[in-house]
Amino acid sequence: MALDQAHGIILKSQKFRESSKILRVFTEEYGTISLIAKGVRGPKSKTAGLTEVLNHVVVSFYRKPGQDLYLLKQVDIQDAFSGLRAVYEGLTVALAVTEVVYRITIQEAAHAELFADLLQALQSLDAGAKRPLNYYWAFLLSVQHTFGCGMTVDQCSVSGQALPEGSAAFHLDYGGTIDAENSDAATADARISPESRWVIHYLQNNTGDRLDRLAPSEPCRKEINTLLHRYMRYHIEGFSEPQSLKLLTTNRPDPTATTRSL
């Protein structure tokens, strides 16, 4: 039985028997692994807080050939992200991005780029994101790029030419916007407003607290949320809208919202 070590984010935790937990940990080295943490729920446990969902940890565990549930030997915390846990909206979005990763990954399939996407999202939220939903959208767009199916909104996906003013057609199969005058526009899946195109383009090209500068209008927020979820379902196997995101009141008007156009 080999002793291995990995850096990871705890995606999910469930009770096991009287005093233990089963952890789903997305690791940089091995992808998602399942660990049994014996006795961590016991009254004398000193590691209970180290095994909470969202924690960035280093885990040491015993791997046995032919098994997919490994025994946790030791856990050391790298970051508990206490900043995002103190803000309801930030915590909700953090749970949403971890839920996305849990659904689109398979057991023990390493994906270092996706791990980097997740870690960056959590660190950005922890730094005090003022508009957490923007960070959720930016995370989905980053995941699309990582999976090789990035969304195009700044030109026609068919011709590669610049789009005219006004709303554009959006085609899931072509991976983005197409000129309304193009013959393929007749089979488009949706329309996308100039404001939504501008916001998505901004999210694709900016990171960190620059995302807080965006204050999309309410119709834009609804349009982007719907479009990104449809796009993810179409292109990335296993994706569905995170249940945790539904806890966030996405239809609450933003008093600072403004409309921007391309």
What confidence score (pLDDT) does residue 146 get? 95
Q: Supply the mean pLDDT for the chain.
A: 89
Last residue of a domain, one of 80, 110, 127: 80
Specify if 258 maps to a domain.
Answer: no
pTM above 0.85, yes or no: yes
Specify if 102 maps to a domain.
Answer: yes
CA distances from 143 to 92, 120, 176 (A): 19, 12, 15
The H or E element that residue 144 is part of is helix 132-146
* pLDDT score of 254 more than 70: no
Last residue of a domain, one of 46, 80, 114: 80
* pLDDT score of 23 more than 80: yes
Strand-strand pairing, 168-171 and 176-178: antiparallel
What confidence score (pLDDT) does residue 67 get? 84
Strand-strand pairing, 69-79 and 176-178: unpaired
Do 200 and 106 lie in one domain? The reply is: yes
* pLDDT score of 107 more than 60: yes
Number of domains composing the chain: 2
Share of the chain above pLDDT 90, in %: 67
Model confidence at 260, in pLDDT bands (50, 70, 90)?
A: very low
Count H helices and E strands in the chain, helices first: 6, 8
The structure tokens 């072509």 sit at 174
> What range defines the domain where residue 46 resides?
2-80
Do 115 and 141 lie in one domain? The reply is: yes
Q: Rounded to whole angstroms, how far apart are CA atoms 42 and 62?
A: 21
Q: Rounded to whole angstroms, how far apart are CA atoms 10 and 35?
A: 10
* pLDDT score of 123 more than 80: yes
What confidence score (pLDDT) does residue 182 get? 81
What confidence score (pLDDT) does residue 51 get? 87
Do 35 and 57 lie in one domain? The reply is: yes
What confidence score (pLDDT) does residue 219 get? 94
Q: Quick one: residue 175, left, alpha or beta (phi over 0 = left, psi -120 to 50 = alpha)?
A: left
Specify if 221 maps to a domain.
Answer: yes
Q: Rounded to whole angstroms, how far apart are CA atoms 40 and 46?
A: 7
**Max CA separation in the chain (angstroms):** 69
Do 97 and 214 lie in one domain? The reply is: yes
What confidence score (pLDDT) does residue 108 get? 85
What confidence score (pLDDT) does residue 79 get? 96
Do 74 and 88 lie in one domain? The reply is: no
Last residue of a domain, one of 33, 56, 80: 80
The structure tokens 């011709």 sit at 159
CA distances from 208 to 101, 119, 129, 224 (A): 20, 12, 8, 20
Specify if 219 maps to a domain.
Answer: yes
| pLDDT tens-digit map of 206-225 | 999 999 999 999 999 999 99
* pLDDT score of 85 more than 80: yes
Q: What is the DSSP string of 164-233?
A: PSS-EEEETTTTEEE-TTSGGGGG-SEEE-HHHHHHHHHHHT--GGGGGG----HHHHHHHHHHHHHHHH
Do 42 and 140 lie in one domain? The reply is: no
